[in-house]
Amino acid sequence: MKIKTICVVGAGLMGHQIALQAAISGFESFCTDTSEAALQKAQDFALDWIKKNQEKGKIDENEADAIKKRLTFTSDLESAACGADLVIEAIVEILAVKRELFARLDKICPPHTILATNSSYLVSSKIADATSRPDKVLNMHFFNPALIMKLVEVVQGPHVSDQTVETVMEVSRALGKVPTRVNKEIYGFVANRVFSAITQEACYMLDQGVASVEDIDNAVRFGLGHPMGPFALLDLVGIDLEYDVRMARYQETGLAQDKPSPALVARFAADNFGRKSGKGFYDYKK
């Protein structure tokens, strides 16, 4: 199936850049949100991106106009989604809200439309049965910032057809991304699982007094060739986000290995969330 029109639902941190990326890559792109303020911010960001890239000579006037023409912002879900071949949901991480949205999309969209969720942790099998087309409901997981990060994880739950996966892999490539096919639904998918294992081990070593924050980061950077150490990366992602994700997982599994480490808990409790609050594992006020 050829995808021509993409609708992104949710114009927040992830959605606004996914919708812009779709328009840049030549798709007819609709961006919708229940919040007018979020839509305005997304539109301002897109216009600013187009202006800056035109000034830098990266796109010419014709391309700038074409991207603007291909990108529509509207709070009307029905008009945004009714002509879409692919819908990418990027709304709040609450299962009941996502299920309600997918049930609505199922009624609005034509039968061929693929309904994807950008969720990092909710697998599509928890959502698919809210629709009449489970074979066309899957996780299409972008990374932040979506305009820059190349990876898209395409996850094939047991209900998803091969054709749906192949179409979404192809669209991801057309969006300039590198898709990874994940053959099974697994908590955290691939990249976040690896990141989680590294950060948990780094925190464990810090708690045990094995090495300092700086030395563990240096070992990972200069020994393993990672561009950033795990603590610098946690400060960037947000210690509050990491704490919430770990705590939710721990409450679900009850396994000691999933429990947030004392190093993480102490910083979370002191409101030291990382770069955004000026202090985390590193002090950014200095």
Contact residues for ligand NAI, defined by CB under 6 A: 9-15, 33-35, 38, 90-93, 97, 101, 118-120, 142-144
Query: Which residue, 62, 15, 77, is CA-closest to 41?
Result: 15
How near is the Cβ of 40 to ligand NAI at its closest, in Å? 11
Rounded distance, CA 109 to CA 239, Å? 38
Verify cis geometry, omega within 30 degrees of 0, for the bond prior to 145: yes
3-state helix, strand, coil split of the chain in percent (to 5) is 50, 15, 35
Active site residue 78: no
How near is the Cβ of 201 to ligand NAI at its closest, in Å? 22
Rounded alpha-carbon distances, angstroms, from residue 179 to 42, 162, 170:
25, 15, 8
Which residue number, 35 or 251, has a Cβ lying nearer to ligand NAI?
35
Query: Which residue, 183, 182, 199, is CA-closest to 141?
Result: 182
Rounded distance, CA 103 to CA 197, Å? 35
Burial of 68 (C-beta count, 10 Å sphere; 0-12/13-18/19+): middle
Take residue 4 and report the two structure tokens written for it: 């021509």
How near is the Cβ of 45 to ligand NAI at its closest, in Å? 12
Q: Which of 25, 75, 161, 192 is catalytic?
A: 192
How near is the Cβ of 88 to ligand NAI at its closest, in Å? 9
How near is the Cβ of 10 to ligand NAI at its closest, in Å? 3
Which residue number, 13 or 228, has a Cβ lying nearer to ligand NAI?
13
CB contact at 8 A, 82 and 51: no
- Sign of the torsion formed by the C-alpha atoms of 38, 53, 14 and 198: negative
Which residue number, 25 or 34, has a Cβ lying nearer to ligand NAI?
34
Side by side, the strands of the sheet bearing 71-74 are 71-74, 28-32, 5-9, 86-89, 114-117, 137-142, 151-155, 178-182
Select the residue whose beta carbon is closest to ligand NAI and give its number: 12
Residue 254, CB-side half-sphere exposure with 13 Å CA sphere: 0
Which residue number, 8 or 50, has a Cβ lying nearer to ligand NAI?
8
How near is the Cβ of 211 to ligand NAI at its closest, in Å? 28
φ, ψ for residue 28 (rounded to 5)? -70, 125
Active site residue 192: yes
Q: Which of 118, 119, 120, 124 is catalytic?
A: 120
Active site residue 153: yes
Q: Which of 16, 28, 118, 153 is catalytic?
A: 153
Which residue number, 17 or 272, has a Cβ lying nearer to ligand NAI?
17
Which residue number, 50 or 81, has a Cβ lying nearer to ligand NAI?
81
Active site residue 53: no
Question: Residues with catalytic annotation?
Answer: 120, 141, 153, 192
